[in-house]
Amino acid sequence: MILEKTDPGEHQYDFLIRPNRSMTAKGMMLFVVLVGITVFLIAIRFVMLGAWVILPFAILEVALLAAGFWLYERASRYRETVQLSRKSILITQESVKGQKSWQFNPHWVKVTLSLDQKDWYPSQLFIGSHGQQVEIGACLTNQEREDLTKALKQAMPDVLQHSTQH
């Protein structure tokens, strides 16, 4: 998902890139609780019928479901910001592992969308300058990467044009 914030007076563009999250953390917790209650009610019925061995597997099932949602929520905290301004292009990638930042001169930067010739693999979007390049938008679909490439290439001339006037 791409969110764009533009400040026309300052000729600054901010792009926020993050994975699409179809469910909030509260929604995930509510879902796990509802499934857990349902599974435990069914497991208790089996225990009352004498099939006690069902209960440990029901607990394991709910625990694995909760762990899967926890891992998904943790991974979806990933986000990238691309800030285009007169002075620099700042790329920041944030995840649970930490934060990384790269800074480029807007006059020398190159935006490259690398497409797979056979369309077997997803495209890759790179921003780079002087031999250093950074992949951005890895969590986006091919269409979203193409849209981001167009938006970045449209914003660059505006930023560069107004950087020489000041």
pLDDT tens digits, one per residue of 88-114: 899 999 998 899 999 999 888 999 999
Residues in contact with 122: Cβ distance below 8 Å, sequence separation at least 6, in sequence order: 116, 141, 142, 145
Its domain, for residue 36, covers 25-75
Same domain, 41 and 56: yes
pLDDT for the residue 89: 92
pLDDT for the residue 162: 58
- What radius of gyration do the chain's Cα atoms show? 23
Same domain, 139 and 93: yes
CATH number assigned to the domain comprising residue 113: 2.30.29
Token pair, residue 123, equals 């495209």
Same domain, 38 and 95: no
Same domain, 90 and 159: yes
Cβ proximity of 79 and 16 under 8 Å: yes
pTM score of the predicted model: 0.76
Token pair, residue 130, equals 């002087």
Same domain, 8 and 68: no
Same domain, 56 and 92: no
Strand ranges (E), the chain: 2-7, 12-17, 79-84, 89-95, 98-104, 110-114, 124-129, 132-136
Same domain, 109 and 59: no
Count of CB atoms within 10 A of residue 125's CB? 23
Same domain, 11 and 53: no
Measure the CA–CA gap between 96 and 104, rounded to whole angstroms: 24
> In residues, how long is the chain?
166
Measure the CA–CA gap between 42 and 95, rounded to whole angstroms: 39
Amino acid at 20: N
Same domain, 94 and 154: yes
Token pair, residue 24, equals 């909030």
Same domain, 147 and 66: no
Q: Which residues of the chain have a pLDDT value below 70?
A: 1, 7-10, 159-166
* Total number of domains constituting the chain: 2
